[in-house]
A and B are shown apart, each in its own frame.
Chain A
Amino acid sequence: MAAATLSADRGTLGSFVARHSIGLFLSAIFIAPIFWTLLSSLKPPPEARQPPLPPWPTTGFSIENYVALDSFGAGLWHSAQNSIFVSVSSVLLTAVISLLAGYGFSRFTFPFKNLFFIMILSTIMIPFQSILTPIFLLLATFKLQNTLTGLVLVYVTLQLPFSIFMMRNAFDAVPKEIEEAARIDGARSVALLTRIMLPLVWPGLVTVALFAFLNTWNEFIAALVLMTDQEKFTLPIMMTAVQSGRFGAINWGAVQAGVTVMMIPCLILFLLLQRFYIRGLTAGAVK
């Protein structure tokens, strides 16, 4: 199918129509579930309980499904706040720590440098699912069990291998002469990093932040294991509780609304920052 389209001469009208019919059809299939949920979430609750045929509201638009979400447990908006706190803190911490580490690994020579670098990178080989129990116990020892701060620290650690790798490469790509010129002008280390280097490695940092946000916003199993208190649920955990009927009969309208709330930030960020995302993907893939 695709091979035929590929070999066809794109100049002719027939192949043009064929290619774009296929393209639009496939695009529709991939986008459909997302739009289906989005539209159905705007139905009044009695209609949202019915099969979504057609997907759009037929008895008027309503935001009641979103309002209903706040009646479950600690409330959806409370969970949303938790998710926002966790994701934003993780993004900021990841950015700062990987910026510093990337600079350190790229520009300095010190004992055990390669050992440290390999240690950080090799954690990517080990599934973090297998170390969740000790993390659970460690957080308890630090009096961080059931705290969002604890979850943030775990998330940042999981982001570090990719982020430090990205940032070291970003710094490696900056010519040494720029730094030397600044040094001669008397810039000190920290000023050098923030004033001269930061604008130059900015794209790498955006990539790191974007991946950190998407990964932490969507993370499921660690939050499920580590956050046992309803007050501390992040959105995925909260919505799974709603969907499992933990708060009584399953309200599918509320599930559609919750899923929409979970998806929208990811979709918007991706559409805005697409080229940074693809850059991260290929950097991780090629190296």
Chain B
Amino acid sequence: MIDAIRLLGFAHGGWGPALLMAASVTTLLSVLGFALGAVFGALAAAGRLHKSRVSRALALGYCTVFRGVPDLLTIYLLYYGGSVVLTSIGHLLGGAGFVGVPAFATGTLAIAIISGAYQAEVYRGAYLAIDQGQHDAACSLGLNRLQRLRHVTFPQLLRYALPGLGNVWQLVLKDSSLISVIGLVELMRQAQIGAGSTREPFVFYIAAALLYLVIASVTGNAFYRLERKAPWRVRSA
């Protein structure tokens, strides 16, 4: 026990600073991936609600594929596929040799693509939960398309989507550990490095698990408070 504390501590030779640094990389990766995923999700939800059959099919295809295929496969696709594309562009520009994709950018994109597919379902459900009377009333008040979106649809949509988004966020946070397979030193990877060089895997993976729990509960709490105290909260009559 004393050994474990010294190992994970902040004194000289302790792994505390490295693990905390890695935990912040995990958080940043998840936040950026989730934010970019919101863009993909919103586009896909709009596509699924659109009149055009082509956009509906494209959006449904995107959601089905990335929710049904293991996240690890998607990460490999972007990592290896991205390197191949970059290398061939390099060859076109006269360069030689292999060009690797940056792990952080690839990880962010992978998380965005995967979480976008889940977020799309949340946004679609939230949009459908808005009472039709709200749209009718907004129209009859003479609001234009942008005003309806800005003042009527969007505030209510966000309110309905928040609980579902909280679930997707938890999924994203845990998925971010998979980015360790392409070499990004986030929390999982840092725990592996520590476990490897000290031969104390149990201590390091427990520490990583606890740090994930802390990040999950702090951010989960933030979502909960947003839900309860938000100005767009639906007041009951």
The answer to whether A and B belong to the same complex is: no
Residues of chain A whose beta carbon lies under 8 Å from any beta carbon of chain B = none
Residues of chain B whose beta carbon lies under 8 Å from any beta carbon of chain A = none
